[in-house]
């Protein structure tokens, strides 16, 4: 679809509809957002910016709440580990 | 990092129905009003998403009123500190704002209550409202199997929404008993709008299995959720699924009211007839004063907005509506109160604090929040106890600790700002 946004998640390009959050994009790509202190895989829990489980590295910035950030063309997203 | 400085007659914290109604009424009364919202768009959780959604359509007139009345909308901003009375600091993605106010209305809403059970930290186990919010934020669930579980009226609403989005819902599990649910349904006749909601939901979900007396006991999967084991009327049943949407009703967001020194009434913020808290010039409306849903939020928001502008007679006209809304809130509380069996959900090795990876067995070596925090760091990670706090209160009956700034994790640059402003 022409109006899709393409970004890279852990180096791989993915396309999403406009208005998609980074957290939603990561879940759809089957990726985890972060690793916990003991190394467990984690993904979003609350979906509304409270739990901080969806922290990811967005454009080089660590610990971003990915459920509160919209995907943008060319964005570079990485698992926070 | 940039900073800005703004002043308002009335500052509203929270952009859900209560905050929007408060801001609209205050601005229409001639006040200069600002509304601070953590999320990217106004509407809170209930009015999140596209405007083709019938529930979200309810938000449109309120949005229009805010625009017409010239309310300043500060979205994507989180309040984290009050350096002095009448001043709040809020952090956005790129800046810190100093917000000055004469009157403050706290409409901070509610969040889901999560209870720990084995496997609840697996990816794709989310809140019920949590998964709905994710789907409204672009997550596609067409053809996915979703078990909806926990407690509260939100479960059916979420199940209906997910069905509309093409998900398959093998089971909806409610921890409350059939007896309580039947009593709830019988009293709904006093609330016409609620009855209509219940009927539309049933029409949308004729083929979905709904089980009372049921709750998840374990989420299973290798690195990601694959199935969930449900205790259903005392029998165990394992259901394969892609997502588990699980939340145990709601708890109020009272961190900011507590930080400002507002007195509490149990777990809720204490308010008088005009929604005034015990702190001068500070009002509170919506879920932090009692979990009552959107009707309650709208009427309390309006009362607070009018009262904050000295329009007590107009506010008084809404008292009848609020009485009805509060009756509904009490009914919700009674119907969806957590059953004691849920206290045995976590096993010894189940993580309770997800931020610091603290197990239930480590927590139980302590007798208070303070001791557990000092020795295990439970509740001291980025969520600052927002997830594990209500769980621990239910599991171990520990009272929450006092709240200290910053009420949200902030960037170091923003903390440096605290030092500068005192």
**CB under 8 Å to B203, separation ≥6 — which residues?**
none
Domain count, chain B: 3
B155 within some domain: yes
pTM for the complete prediction? 0.93
Q: How many CA atoms lie less than 13 Å away from B266 in the CB half-sphere?
A: 7
Determine contact: A38 vs chain B, CB below 8 A.
yes
Q: Are residues B227 and B255 in the same domain?
A: no
pLDDT-derived band at B420, boundaries 50, 70, 90: low
- Are residues B161 and B65 located together in one domain of the fold? no
- Residue B282 is classified by DSSP as E
CB B369 within 8 A of CB B399: yes
Whether residues B319 and B377 share a domain: the answer is: no
Same domain, B234 and B255: no
Examine the fold and report which residue of B248, B282, B300 is the final residue of a domain before the chain moves on: B248
Q: Which residues of A touch B127 (CB under 8 A)?
A: 45-47
**Which residue has tokens 């500068």?**
B420
In this prediction the ipTM stands at 0.97
Question: Do B242 and B122 belong together in one domain?
Answer: yes
Q: Taking Cα atoms as reference points, which of B324, B325, B308 lies closest to residue B274?
A: B308
Q: List the domain range (segments joined by +) for residue B281.
A: 2-111+251-333
Query: Domain ends where: B195, B221, B248?
Result: B248
> Are A11 and A5 contacting, i.e. CB atoms less than 8 angstroms apart?
no
**Per-residue model confidence as pLDDT tens digits over A34-76:** 999 999 999 999 999 999 999 999 999 999 999 999 999 999 9
| Count of CB atoms situated within 10 Å of the CB of A38 | 9
pLDDT value, residue B202: 66
Give me the CATH number covering residue A37.
3.10.20.740
The reply to whether residue A41 touches residue B223, judged by beta carbons under 8 angstroms, is: yes
Residue B311 and residue B354 share a domain: no
Q: Do A52 and B383 touch (CB under 8 A)?
A: yes
Residues B103 and A22 sit within 8 Å (Cβ to Cβ): no
- What is the per-residue pLDDT across B85-144, written as a single tens digit (0 to 9) for each? 999 999 987 789 999 999 999 999 999 999 999 999 999 999 999 999 999 999 999 999
Sheet holding B227-232, edge to edge: B214-220, B227-232, B235-240
Asked whether residue B338 is domain-assigned, the answer is: no
Best B46, B133, B358 residue to mutate vs chain A (most A CBs within 10 Å): B133
Chain-chain contact of A46 with B354 (C-beta, under 8 angstroms): no
Q: What is the DSSP letter of B16?
A: S
Extended beta strands in B54-193, E state = 72-75, 78-84, 87-91, 95-106, 110-112, 125-126, 145-151, 168-174
Kindly state whether residues B237 and B143 are assigned to the same domain: yes
SS3 B166: coil
From residue B369, give the alpha-carbon distance in Å to each of B113, B375, B405.
18, 10, 18
Residues 173-212 of B with CB under 8 A from A: none
CATH number (domain holding residue B44)? 3.50.50.60
Is residue B361 a part of any domain in this protein?
Answer: yes
Q: Is the pLDDT at A2 greater than 60, yes or no?
A: no
**Domain count within chain A:** 1
Confidence tier at B417 by pLDDT (50, 70, 90):
low
Q: What is the DSSP letter of B401?
A: P
In the stretch 57-76 of chain A, residues with CB closer than 8 A to chain B read: 63, 67-68, 70-71
Dihedral over alpha carbons B356, B361, B362, B366 (to 10 degrees) = 120
pLDDT bin (cut points 50, 70, 90) of residue B422 is very low
Residue-wise pLDDT for B303-356, tens only, equals 999 999 999 999 999 999 999 999 989 999 999 999 999 999 999 999 999 999
For residues B103 and B225, state if they share a domain.
Answer: no
Residue at B340 is within a domain:
no
Q: What is the rounded distance in angstroms from the CA atom of residue A13 to the CA atom of residue B317?
A: 57
Q: Cis ω on the peptide bond leading into residue B387 (within 30° of 0)?
A: no
Last residue in a domain, options B196, B222, B248: B248
Enumerate the β-bridge partners of residue B329: none
Query: Would you say residue B13 lies in a domain?
Result: yes
- In angstroms, what separates the C-alpha of B353 from chain A's closest C-alpha? 11
Task: Name the DSSP class of B64.
Answer: H
10 Å Cβ neighbour count for B160? 21
Q: Is B339 among the domain residues? A: no
B243 and B119 together in one domain:
yes
d(CA B24, CA B63): 9
Measure Cα distances from B288 to B19, B143, B249 in Å: 12, 37, 14
> Residue B235: pLDDT above 80?
yes
What pLDDT, on the 0 to 100 scale, is given for residue A35? 96
Which residue, among A3, A36, A50, would best test binding to B if mutated, counting the most B CBs under 10 Å from its CB? A50
DSSP labels for B138-153?
T---TT-EEEEEEEST
Scanning B26-55 for CB atoms below 8 A from A yields 38-40, 45
Containing structural domain, residue A61? 5-79
Average per-residue pLDDT for chain B = 91
What element of type H or E holds A16?
strand A12-16
């Amino acid at each position: 679809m022409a109006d899709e946004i393409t970004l890279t998640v852990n180096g791989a390009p993915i396309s999403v509809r406009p208005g998609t959050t980074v957290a939603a994009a990561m879940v759809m790509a089957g990726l985890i957002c972060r690793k916990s202190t003991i190394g467990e895989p984690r993904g979003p829990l609350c979906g509304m910016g409270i739990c901080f489980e969806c922290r990811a590295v967005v454009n080089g910035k660590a610990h971003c709440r990915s459920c509160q950030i919209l995907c943008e063309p060319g964005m570079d997203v990485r698992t926070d580990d | 990092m940039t900073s800005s400085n703004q002043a308002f007659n009335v500052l509203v914290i929270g952009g859900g129905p209560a905050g929007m109604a408060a801001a609209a009424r205050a601005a229409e009364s001639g006040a200069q009003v600002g509304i601070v919202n953590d999320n990217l768009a106004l509407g809170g959780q209930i009015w999140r998403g596209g405007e083709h959604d019938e529930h979200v359509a309810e938000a449109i007139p309120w949005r229009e009123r805010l625009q017409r009345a010239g309310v300043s909308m500060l979205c994507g901003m989180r309040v984290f500190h009050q350096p002095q009375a009448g001043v709040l600091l809020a952090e956005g993605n790129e800046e810190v704002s100093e917000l000055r106010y004469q009157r403050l209305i706290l409409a901070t809403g509610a969040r889901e209550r999560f209870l720990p059970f084995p496997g609840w930290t697996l990816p794709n186990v989310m809140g019920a409202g949590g998964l709905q919010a994710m789907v409204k934020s672009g997550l596609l669930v067409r053809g996915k199997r979703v078990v909806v579980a926990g407690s509260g009226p939100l479960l059916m609403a979420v199940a209906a929404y997910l069905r509309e989005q093409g998900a398959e819902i093998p089971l909806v599990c409610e921890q409350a008993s059939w007896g309580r649910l039947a009593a709830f349904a019988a009293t709904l006749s006093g609330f016409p709008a609620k009855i209509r909601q219940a009927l539309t939901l049933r029409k949308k979900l004729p083929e979905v299995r709904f089980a009372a007396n049921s709750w998840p006991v374990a989420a299973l999967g290798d690195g990601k959720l694959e199935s969930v084991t449900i205790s259903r009327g005392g029998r165990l049943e394992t259901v394969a699924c892609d997502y588990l949407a699980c939340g145990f009703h709601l708890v109020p967001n009272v961190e900011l009211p507590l930080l400002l020194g507002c007195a509490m009434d149990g777990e809720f913020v204490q308010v008088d007839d005009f929604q005034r808290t015990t702190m001068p010039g500070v009002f509170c409306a919506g879920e932090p004063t009692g979990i009552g849903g959107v009707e309650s939020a709208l009427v309390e928001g309006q009362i607070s907005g009018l009262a904050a502008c000295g329009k007590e007679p107009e506010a008084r006209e809404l008292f009848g509506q609020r009485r009805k809304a509060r009756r509904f809130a009490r009914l919700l509380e009674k119907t969806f109160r957590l059953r004691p069996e849920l206290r045995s959900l976590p096993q010894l090795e189940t993580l309770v604090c997800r931020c610091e990876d603290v197990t239930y067995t480590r927590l139980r070596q302590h007798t208070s929040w303070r001791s557990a925090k000092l020795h295990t760091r439970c509740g001291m990670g980025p969520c600052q106890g927002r997830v594990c706090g209500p769980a621990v209160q239910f599991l171990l009956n520990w009272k929450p600790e006092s709240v200290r700034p910053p009420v949200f994790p902030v960037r170091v640059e923003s903390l440096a700002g605290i030092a500068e402003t005192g």
